[in-house]
Structure 1
Amino acid sequence: MTDIVRTRYTEAHPGLGDGADPVTTEIIRQGLNAAADQMKQSLIRTAFSPIIYEALDFAVAFYDADLCMLAQAPTLPAFMGTLGFCVQEAVDGVGGPGAINPGDVILYNDPYGTGSHPQDAAMVVPVFVEEGEALVGYAVIKAHWLDIGGKDPYCTDTVDVHQEGTIFPGVKLYDAGRLVSDVYRMILANSRMPEMVIGDINAMVAGARTGAEALTALVRRYGIDTFRRCVARMYGHGEALVRSWFERLPDGVYTAKSVIDSDGVNGRPIPFGVKVTVSGSSVTVDLTDCPDQVGGPVNCPLPSTVAAVRIAVAFLAGAGEQPNEGHFRPLELVTRRGSLFHPVRPAPCFMYGIPSDHAIELIIRALAEAVPGSVPAASGGDINALVWWGNREATGEPWADGAPHPVGQGGSPVSDGASALMYISESATRLTPAEVWEARNPWRIERLALAEDSGGPGRHRGGLGLDLSFRVLEDQYLTSALARTALEPWGLSGGLPGRPNRLTVEYPDGREEDFSLKTRIFLPKGALVHLRTGSGGGYGPPSERDPEAVHADLREGYVTLEHAQRHYPHAF
């Protein structure tokens, strides 16, 4: 038995879309996107935690009965493609499609089916319509819970999946519309912050039900047969769009290599490579050139490896459309079971996003050779997640919060990189406003600014990273989930690298310490936490930068005079 696994995307119902009216197809496509957005807005309006309603750390999508993605609202790209695995495993967990009924809500958070840590839990609502109550598809939400009983609310040092949180391997939270109280009580018993978590769970249930109602209304409006024919044509359009992009590339094998800082436990660098094969209108991404699964939690389960490939392809070839299953039919993914990108239980995987994010950037870099002049330099390459928790000084009440933080984007053949944007895997999330942070949490924001001189020099410089300083007002704990702290974001075509990510804690006694992956850092009252997010690499030789652009950067405060004179002497 071979350990090599090929994940392909096959066409459901070939030929079904032939003859479907193109206008009706487009109306249904936009209706699906609007329904997904309605599900998203319902969740935002009712969630308890800022990580959901402010940071938008969730994804919502519809799948058809064959588990093909109908639509995903602009939410967390890192979950692109993983929700199909969630639905499959959730439904199998309760006995298969024959065991589900109208009114069911299935809870699922097994990392090997969700692709992420147990805190990213999914709610799956089956959608039935008339015609004998036929199963049409599923409305699904996956969102981050503040705590579900792991060794810590956020972990960078786990050594097996059982330390990472309570696992619900496909159980009904609602059975035919009735709450299953035993499951509900188990959730409450396994969270340090049950009131926050249950508030978010209720919001997820409401959001998924809202989505199911919107999908049902759309199907009933056009009838199940017309809906299915138009969906098949919609998938065909998405496929044709992506194939047309790859058809313009020269056939060939394109490779790139990089190094992950460490696995969070053993401290050793983790080298890996990617091989991208373009053949006609098809593309194969091979991630077998990587170590066996490692002892720390940076293993990336297959669903999130799939998501990484999908994000890279959508970034390059998706033409800005909201994706559906058809966009991914030209893709094949090759992995090796038991490896970093296809671990097997019980390998820890809490920090799965580190290799996933790294793979996205490396796939794009590999294709720079195939499409010269079309691919940007590297970004800061990480979401720079920080998670804080403790007990409030006045009341003893437990609290927690967490968020990703933006990085500079790489310079491109046509422009400077954007400054302080979320990394592509979190591009639909947003930075929580300082006013919300300070109102809810015992911090004070003492600095929040674009970091001058941080962008990689080039004809088009890299985007700037962010300098952010938190003054700690009460004793608390922090988990730092920073990656790419050693590797500088690479430039392209002669551009210079940007700065890596960095976290420094300045203690009240004057001592300073840097952290990357570190769980449960004790922060005494008065400490100052400095986050310096990475910048983008430059594109093209700095000597070719327009002198006026250099002076504009000086006027805006993006660079200092010393930096400009050192890297762009021709401008003076």
Structure 2
Amino acid sequence: MSEKRYILGTNIERVEVDPVTLQVLGGAFRTISEEMGLVLYRMSYSSIIRESEDLGAGIVDRRARQIAESENSPMHAGTVGACIKGILSRWEEKDIHEGDIFIHNHPYHGASHSPDVEIIIPIFYKEELIAYSAINAHVSDVGAPSAGIAIKAQDVTAEARQFYALKLYENGERNEQLWRCILDNCRTPSMNANDYDALIAAAEHGRVRFLELIDKYGLEIVFSAEEEWFDYTERVLRAEISKAKDGVYYSESYLDDDGINLGVPLKIATTVTIKGDEITVDLTGSADEVYSACNVPFEGSTVPAINTIIHSLFLDADKFGEYVPQNEGLERPLHIIAPKGCLFNPNYPRACYARFNQVNRLADTIMNALADAMPMNVAAGCSADLHYFVYNGFDKKAKEYWLYAEVTEGSYGGRYGKDGMDTVDCLVANTRNMPIEESEWHYPLRIERYGLRPQPAAPGKWRGGIGVIRETTYLSDGFCGCEGDGHLNNPKGIFGGNTGKASTLVKNPGKDNEEILPSKFESIIMKAGDSIEVQSPNSGGYGNPLEREPDMVLSDILDGFATREQAENDYCVVIDYDNMTVDYEATMELRASKM
């Protein structure tokens, strides 16, 4: 008779789960997380949650292992379990009760960064703690040095108010003093209050839906299915890693600066080792931690970013043929090395508020490192650098700030068999675009221009994607802050593809008082009529441009994605511009002369 097995850290017996039930429960885990996200962004007041869906949700077992996560921002969803570890670093399980609700945002105890506030509700079944329902989102202002943004904070205490595993509710009763303290120490109390209530409602939805599964299938079946899905993800990832060529692969890139020492680049060094069915990502050689808010929390940001890009490269649903959940099993064949004290594993109390460009560029660098190992799975250099803008001003009538946060879309590099995608957020960001109507309806702003960046795409057998241009004018006096990068580096082309174009950022473009802005600034004064124009990167091309189908080059010219000069010099395609047709014979001769 075989010895009984138990779910880790519990007295719940692990039992066999038939394949049909396993699939049903796998879908249910995923659906619960997605529903939590839906509840949040349909209830939220702030545009960064309601429109951009800058949030993440999941169900986590009592040992902080993530059962499922929502498909919103990977940086939010991937940190849900790490925040539970943060809760458990301050509270013993015996002191966690039914009816408790935690609020948490400490970047050295699992949070992605301080603005990402997580609400955590413990799930009890028959008076026993079995799991947690948790959801986090980017909250408009959490007491940063400037409204909604921090670049130059000298430490984590200066960057924002820290909520370290605080009980906002205890035994079902709200702590009114804590609630008032939280809202008194931000610039947007009305918006924050609504968002916190929406977060609580979303987490409660997850709790209720998970208990419905327990009631229907029983503890043993549900948690045994969890273990089976962990094992499945591990097994499939190991098999896919085994298909890649063993070796040590290296790539490096540079960030513009740390926001204080402008123009002094920060190195990202990435060594990826594939050996058998395991993979190691080593960040040794990357820049040291800095005395600004540009450090990256290890558990809350570095680890989720690497997990996400590895999942995307090896387990992409389109290529793999089926959905493989991103859960605790993903981490078993994956090893991450980030020396303590480097940019991606800073020492407390280094500030971490402005960490997003670093992790997005890290994901891009990992992909570049693995290009030779898995050329059909990667993209050329992407617009890894986003611009997170905070437009704001003081509303005298409401006696609080209005604040509008926006993440500028970018583009993907060319991919094997496909051109890069235009005007989309990419890599580990995954936020949605902000419609013009949303901006102009709710805030004293006017969008003068919003569209494809006017410069052509980077040539390649598969061209790079094109970024956006967006110009925003203030209709009343206010302030603007920006967390950006990518002004000093162009997205790389691969396998002979051309490099893309870097970002640009200008105040009052085309006016007498035009000013070229750096990629990062905490808060500048904006008068009514002043405007900000951003152009996000055009990404790199994939493959030799001489191998691009001539008809695709003609199509690019007709669409405005390529110029006549590129057709002649980069693609060597001869076009009859009177009739807008390709001269195939002349093209073949010209290309032959360039080979």
Q: TM-score range by the shorter chain?
A: over 0.9
2:315 to 315, 318, 321: 318
- The answer to whether 1:354 aligns with 2:353 is no
Aligned to 1:143: 137
For the 8 Å contact 2:70–2:77, the answer to whether it is kept is no
For the 8 Å contact 1:453–1:560, the answer to whether it is kept is no
- The answer to whether 1:228 aligns with 2:223 is yes
Give, in whole Å, the separation in 1 of the partners of 2:481 and 2:304: 25
1:178 to 162, 165, 173: 173
Question: 1:168 is matched by which residue type in structure 2?
Answer: F
> Matches of residues 146-295 of structure 1 in structure 2 within 5 Å?
146-152=140-146, 153-267=148-262, 268-295=264-291
2:478 to 476, 479, 497: 476
Give, in whole Å, the separation in 2 of the partners of 1:44 and 1:352: 23
Give, in whole Å, the separation in 2 of the partners of 1:337 and 1:270: 16
Give, in whole Å, the separation in 2 of the partners of 1:347 and 1:101: 33
For the 8 Å contact 1:255–1:276, the answer to whether it is kept is yes
Shift of 1:394: 7.0
Structure 1 unaligned blocks of 5 or more: 1-10
Shift of 1:344: 1.1
Give, in whole Å, the separation in 1 of the partners of 2:113 and 2:9: 34
Give, in whole Å, the separation in 2 of the partners of 1:469 and 1:318: 38
Deviations 1:211-250 (A, max 9, x none): 1110111112100011121111111111112111101012
Shift of 1:115: 4.1
> Matches of residues 352-501 of structure 1 in structure 2 within 5 Å?
352-392=355-395, 397-427=400-430, 429-501=431-503
For the 8 Å contact 1:77–1:424, the answer to whether it is kept is no
RMSD of aligned alpha carbons:
1.9
The alignment covers a number of residue pairs equal to: 558
Shift of 1:78: 1.7
SS of residue matched to 1:515? coil
Aligned to 2:320: none
- The answer to whether 1:35 aligns with 2:32 is yes
Give, in whole Å, the separation in 2 of the partners of 1:121 and 1:402: 16
Q: Which moved more, 1:409-418 or 1:368-377?
A: 368-377
1:299 to 286, 295, 300: 295
- The answer to whether 1:345 aligns with 2:345 is no
For the 8 Å contact 2:15–2:220, the answer to whether it is kept is no
For the 8 Å contact 2:114–2:352, the answer to whether it is kept is no
Query: Would the alpha carbon gap of residues 200 and 412 (structure 1) be closer, same or farther in structure 2, given more than 3 Å must change?
Result: same
> Matches of residues 87-102 of structure 1 in structure 2 within 5 Å?
87-93=84-90, 95-102=91-98
> Matches of residues 321-340 of structure 1 in structure 2 within 5 Å?
321=323, 322-340=325-343
- The answer to whether 1:78 aligns with 2:75 is yes
Query: Would the alpha carbon gap of residues 396 and 223 (structure 1) be closer, same or farther in structure 2, given more than 3 Å must change?
Result: closer
Aligned to 1:309: 306
For the 8 Å contact 1:21–1:230, the answer to whether it is kept is no
* TM norm structure 1: 0.94
Give, in whole Å, the separation in 2 of the partners of 1:116 and 1:235: 23
For the 8 Å contact 1:114–1:120, the answer to whether it is kept is no
Give, in whole Å, the separation in 2 of the partners of 1:339 and 1:464: 33
> Matches of residues 30-69 of structure 1 in structure 2 within 5 Å?
30-69=27-66
Shift of 1:571: 3.8
Deviations 1:500-524 (A, max 9, x none): 1121111764333222111102121
Query: Would the alpha carbon gap of residues 449 and 563 (structure 1) be closer, same or farther in structure 2, given more than 3 Å must change?
Result: farther
Question: 2:357 is matched by which residue type in structure 1?
Answer: I
Give, in whole Å, the separation in 1 of the partners of 2:437 and 2:311: 34
- The answer to whether 1:116 aligns with 2:118 is no
Question: 2:175 is matched by which residue type in structure 1?
Answer: V
Query: Would the alpha carbon gap of residues 396 and 92 (structure 1) be closer, same or farther in structure 2, given more than 3 Å must change?
Result: closer
SS of residue matched to 2:295? coil
Structure 2 unaligned blocks of 5 or more: 1-6, 318-322, 576-595
1:538 to 523, 538, 541: 541
Question: 1:325 is matched by which residue type in structure 2?
Answer: E
Give, in whole Å, the separation in 1 of the partners of 2:426 and 2:418: 18
Question: 2:20 is matched by which residue type in structure 1?
Answer: V
For the 8 Å contact 1:150–1:163, the answer to whether it is kept is yes
For the 8 Å contact 2:364–2:427, the answer to whether it is kept is no
SS of residue matched to 1:460? coil
Q: Which has the larger radius of gyration?
A: 2
Shift of 1:23: 1.1
For the 8 Å contact 2:309–2:428, the answer to whether it is kept is no
Shift of 1:57: 0.9
For the 8 Å contact 2:387–2:408, the answer to whether it is kept is yes
Give, in whole Å, the separation in 2 of the partners of 1:137 and 1:397: 38
For the 8 Å contact 1:407–1:465, the answer to whether it is kept is yes
Q: Which moved more, 1:317-326 or 1:338-347?
A: 317-326
Question: 1:239 is matched by which residue type in structure 2?
Answer: E
- What is the percent sequence identity of the aligned residues? 29
For the 8 Å contact 1:17–1:233, the answer to whether it is kept is no
* TM norm structure 2: 0.90
Deviations 1:308-348 (A, max 9, x none): 21011111112323422222321111121121111011111
1:134 to 104, 124, 128: 128
Give, in whole Å, the separation in 2 of the partners of 1:145 and 1:408: 26
SS of residue matched to 2:428? helix
Give, in whole Å, the separation in 2 of the partners of 1:140 and 1:183: 20
Give, in whole Å, the separation in 2 of the partners of 1:35 and 1:83: 14
Shift of 1:372: 2.9
Question: 2:390 is matched by which residue type in structure 1?
Answer: V
Question: 1:98 is matched by which residue type in structure 2?
Answer: K
Deviations 1:12-43 (A, max 9, x none): 58997673211111111101111111111111
Q: Which moved more, 1:472-481 or 1:452-461?
A: 452-461
- The answer to whether 1:107 aligns with 2:75 is no
Shift of 1:560: 3.3
Deviations 1:401-444 (A, max 9, x none): 102111121001211101011122122x2111100100011111
SS of residue matched to 1:336? coil
Q: Which moved more, 1:14-23 or 1:355-364?
A: 14-23
SS of residue matched to 1:272? strand
